[in-house]
Chains A and B, each alone.
Chain A
Amino acid sequence: MEEKEITNLTDEHQEYVINMGPQHPSTHGVLRLKVSLKGEIVKSIEPHIGYIHSGIEKMCESITYPQIIHLTDRMDYISAHINNEAVCLNVEKALEIDIPDRIKVIRTIMSELTRIQSHQLWWACFGMDLGGLTCFFYGLRDREKILDIFEETCGGRMIVSYNCPGGLMYDIHPNFQKRVKDFIKYFRKILPEYDQLLTGNVIFHERSKGIGTLTKEDAISFGVTGPTGRASGFSCDVRKHEPYSAYDRVQFKEILFDEGDTFHRYLARIDEMWESMKIIEQLIDNIPEGPFAVKMKPIIKLPEGEYYQRVETARGELGVFVISDGNKNPYRVKFRSPNFSNLSVLNHIAKGFKIADLVAIGGSLDLIIPDIDR
């Protein structure tokens, strides 16, 4: 009996298990990864989620539609504006309201600004994950400029709550167009600096090329969307395939790569920033005149039925599914959050790599934990 126990202790099933998180610098929040190691090599990863579960879907059942907007801010807090837009579009679709062009254009510009600042923050954190601490300050320096624009128009900086069913909360600030144009001019100059600092670095190439390769088939079967999926060649841009707001009237390229490794996930996001700037440039000079919100009933009641609307957030496809029983609050709300699907692929692609690669791969998936837990 005793002998058997000793052999059990020394056999190869004994694993060196470390807990990455819930308090760990590279999990960007309270994600807990139970990592089994063999030396430096990762044998398996088991994500434990729910540390920041706040019951947003359940809470939605007892509040009205305009109130839901403010909860969606708190899911993927880095692309709060796009989350708001998803709910608004869904409600507007259910009520069959025609949205004036002005609102559509402003929403699109704001969404793209949100996307740029999200990618800036991601770039900052990704650099930090790889050990290049200076990236963090460069990224946040430029992100601050967008947040200032948000603050002027929406009042909020990160949690903007600028959308409401039927339009926008307030009109844009008189300075808005000028400041956005200034920002684009500034950022076109500054974005190559990002490449100088990180993209061209030999160590960075060594650290990211061929690491955590995700094939197109796996991306589709795991439901990986956003820049992560597009880096694997999965054409999944909702803005292209199912245009909403003003995306049908702008020219932009869907960034697609075939390699699907960490380096190309990185490139996809850098290139998306260029594309977002192009979209904004096309719209910023011709914001149509008109009202900034449609007159809505004081209490919004959706007709009985099921409604689904998807949008492209900075991390992938966000779906909002609402079942209404005709009351002022929904019967059931389900968010299809992009981060949840993106996290599910982590074990699949990071197995067999080193601890340092796990951090790099985790960083390149760009996970926002409150969006996973909701």
Chain B
Amino acid sequence: MLPEIVALNTSPTLSVPWWKVVYDFSALTDWIDKSLHNSMSPFWTTITEMLIIGVLILLFYALVGLFLVYAERKVCAFMQNRLGPNRVGPFGIFQTIADLFKLLFKELIPIKNADGFLFNLAPFIVIIASFMAIAAIPFAKGLHAIDLNIGVLYVMAVSAMGVIGVLLAGWSSNNKYSLIGAMRSGAQIVSYELSVGLSLITIVILAGSMQLSVIVEAQRDGWFLFKGHISAFIAFIIFLISSTAETNRGPFDLAEAESELTAGYHTEYSGIKFAFFFLAEYINMFIVASIAATVFLGGWMPFHVGSWEGFNHIMDFIPPFVWYIGKTFFVIFLMMWFKWTFPRLRIDQLLTLEWKYLLPINLFNVLIMAFLVLMGWHF
């Protein structure tokens, strides 16, 4: 009897020292998984793990959303010779939290003759689309909710779902400005989805896989931005442009063009429903920046140069999560930069840019990349 009890009570220990967890989270997740298996049945273990992941992602989602709103306001202030939020808390870091509470307590104004069901459904579709996309992103080594073998395709497909919410919002609010905004957004996202897809395919050809973890692993000896010659660089630029358009931001914010359509598709939304659209916009920006960081800039992979062993070793000391966050925020900063300096495009110019310039360049670029990979001319 005695030995058995001892065996049951022995809790599994971490396979590595605790401070090494930041370099490889799989030890931590394995340990949690084993501990749960020890104390409950496999079914309940799965349920508990799903719950934990769900809560963690929700928390992360809210934190990233709040931080990005703050970051945007600070970056925008920096571009515009202002200080930005600086009253609530040190450097105004609690400003967005205060704003969140304000939005939570605001009245939800009912709209006369609006299609009530669709009107209320729209913000949820937008936010669920972005929420689903964030689950497939590798944040660090081993910190990955689901590692789908079609990760790139999944993220693209799911994040494109948000346009349904935008269209519904525009249609159901019974407002002419909203409808114009929604129609613009529909045309825009459907067009730019093509470019986003093709520029990612360029890298998928180079990596030989759609699985995000494999793509990151393949960049161990150099990021794809540098490995793929000029072709990857073109793909990166096109991805930046078209993903900005896809998130309705920057010079492509026609769907909510403030000076033309007051607030576009979310004109009639108030309180927390408006906050959902607002939050989803920032999370979408975070998602495309993450994808750009993962696919082009190596995700959580530290900066490695071919055979410089010493240099690579020093770079490895910086935890992968820091690399990931740094790269993502670099891309986000780029997107904010051109949002706050460029004037807005017109709808026909927007579509011309996509169908007459980006798409042909992109198709040609895919061919070049396929040729490079075929001949083995990449690094």
Chain B interface, >50% SS class? helix
Does A131 contact B344, Cβ atoms closer than 8 Å? yes
The listed residue (A132, A206, A356, A357) touching B341 by CB distance below 8 A is A132
Neighbouring B residues of A141 by C-beta, 8 Å:
81
B253 at the interface (CB under 8 A from A): yes
Neighbouring A residues of B343 by C-beta, 8 Å:
127, 130-132, 198, 201, 203-204, 207
Query: Per-residue CB proximity of B257-279 to A under 8 Å, as 1/0?
Result: 11111100000000000000000
Query: Per-residue CB proximity of B39-80 to A under 8 Å, as 1/0?
Result: 000000000000000000000000000000000000010011
Stretch of A6-14, A18-26, A308-316 on the interface side = A18-26
A197 at the interface (CB under 8 A from B): yes
A246 at the interface (CB under 8 A from B): no
Neighbouring A residues of B340 by C-beta, 8 Å:
133-134
**Residue with the highest number of chain B CB atoms closer than 10 Å, among A18, A40, A138, A197:** A40
A34 at the interface (CB under 8 A from B): no
The listed residue (A18, A198, A203) touching B251 by CB distance below 8 A is A203
Does A356 contact B342, Cβ atoms closer than 8 Å? no
Does B259 contact A359, Cβ atoms closer than 8 Å? yes
The listed residue (A132, A133, A207) touching B346 by CB distance below 8 A is A207
The residue of chain B having its C-beta at the shortest distance from the C-beta of A35 within the complex is B176
B347 at the interface (CB under 8 A from A): yes
Neighbouring B residues of A130 by C-beta, 8 Å:
259, 343-344
Does A40 contact B180, Cβ atoms closer than 8 Å? yes
Does B348 contact A354, Cβ atoms closer than 8 Å? yes
A52 at the interface (CB under 8 A from B): no
Q: Tell me how far the C-beta of A208 lies from the nearest C-beta in chain B, rounded to whole angstroms.
A: 9
Q: Tell me how far the C-beta of B83 lies from the nearest C-beta in chain A, rounded to whole angstroms.
A: 12
Does A356 contact B347, Cβ atoms closer than 8 Å? yes
Neighbouring A residues of B254 by C-beta, 8 Å:
356
B113 at the interface (CB under 8 A from A): no
The docked-state distance in angstroms from the alpha carbon of A129 to that of B345 is: 12
B9 at the interface (CB under 8 A from A): no
The docked-state distance in angstroms from the alpha carbon of A137 to that of B340 is: 11
Neighbouring A residues of B10 by C-beta, 8 Å:
none
Does B259 contact A26, Cβ atoms closer than 8 Å? yes
Q: Tell me how far the C-beta of B357 lies from the nearest C-beta in chain A, rounded to whole angstroms.
A: 12
The residue of chain B having its C-beta at the shortest distance from the C-beta of A202 within the complex is B342
Query: Per-residue CB proximity of B223-259 to A under 8 Å, as 1/0?
Result: 0000000000000000000000000000101100111
The docked-state distance in angstroms from the alpha carbon of A201 to that of B349 is: 14
Neighbouring A residues of B251 by C-beta, 8 Å:
131, 203
B177 at the interface (CB under 8 A from A): yes
The docked-state distance in angstroms from the alpha carbon of A152 to that of B262 is: 38
A287 at the interface (CB under 8 A from B): no
Query: Per-residue CB proximity of B176-191 to A under 8 Å, as 1/0?
Result: 1100100010000000
A16 at the interface (CB under 8 A from B): yes
Does B259 contact A137, Cβ atoms closer than 8 Å? no
A345 at the interface (CB under 8 A from B): no
Of residues 355 through 374 on chain A, the ones whose CB sits less than 8 Å from some CB of chain B are 355-357, 359
Does A201 contact B344, Cβ atoms closer than 8 Å? no
B378 at the interface (CB under 8 A from A): no
Q: Tell me how far the C-beta of A38 lies from the nearest C-beta in chain B, rounded to whole angstroms.
A: 12
B106 at the interface (CB under 8 A from A): no
Neighbouring A residues of B253 by C-beta, 8 Å:
131
Neighbouring A residues of B37 by C-beta, 8 Å:
none
B82 at the interface (CB under 8 A from A): yes
Of residues 149 through 198 on chain A, the ones whose CB sits less than 8 Å from some CB of chain B are 197-198
On whether A354 and B346 interact (CB within 8 A), knowing A18-B176, A131-B253, A132-B341, the answer reads yes
Does A197 contact B341, Cβ atoms closer than 8 Å? yes
The docked-state distance in angstroms from the alpha carbon of A141 to that of B83 is: 13
The docked-state distance in angstroms from the alpha carbon of A206 to that of B80 is: 24
Neighbouring B residues of A25 by C-beta, 8 Å:
258-259, 262
The residue of chain B having its C-beta at the shortest distance from the C-beta of A353 within the complex is B346
A49 at the interface (CB under 8 A from B): no
Does B81 contact A129, Cβ atoms closer than 8 Å? no
Neighbouring B residues of A133 by C-beta, 8 Å:
76, 80, 340
Does B345 contact A206, Cβ atoms closer than 8 Å? yes
Residues of A whose CB lies within 8 Å of any CB of B are 16, 18, 24-26, 37, 40, 127-134, 136-138, 141, 197-198, 201, 203-204, 206-207, 354-357, 359
Can you identify 25 A-B contacts, CB atoms within 8 angstroms? A18-B177, A25-B259, A40-B348, A128-B259, A131-B257, A132-B341, A133-B76, A133-B340, A134-B340, A136-B80, A137-B82, A138-B80, A138-B81, A203-B342, A203-B345, A204-B343, A206-B346, A206-B349, A207-B346, A354-B346, A354-B347, A354-B348, A355-B180, A355-B260, A356-B344
Q: Which 10 A-B pairs have the closest CB atoms?
A: A131-B344, A130-B343, A137-B80, A132-B343, A26-B259, A356-B346, A131-B343, A18-B176, A129-B259, A134-B80
- Apart from A129-B259, A359-B260, what are 20 other A-B pairs with CB-CB below 8 Å? A16-B176, A26-B259, A26-B260, A131-B259, A132-B341, A132-B342, A132-B343, A133-B80, A137-B80, A137-B82, A138-B81, A203-B342, A203-B344, A203-B345, A203-B349, A206-B345, A354-B347, A354-B348, A355-B260, A356-B347
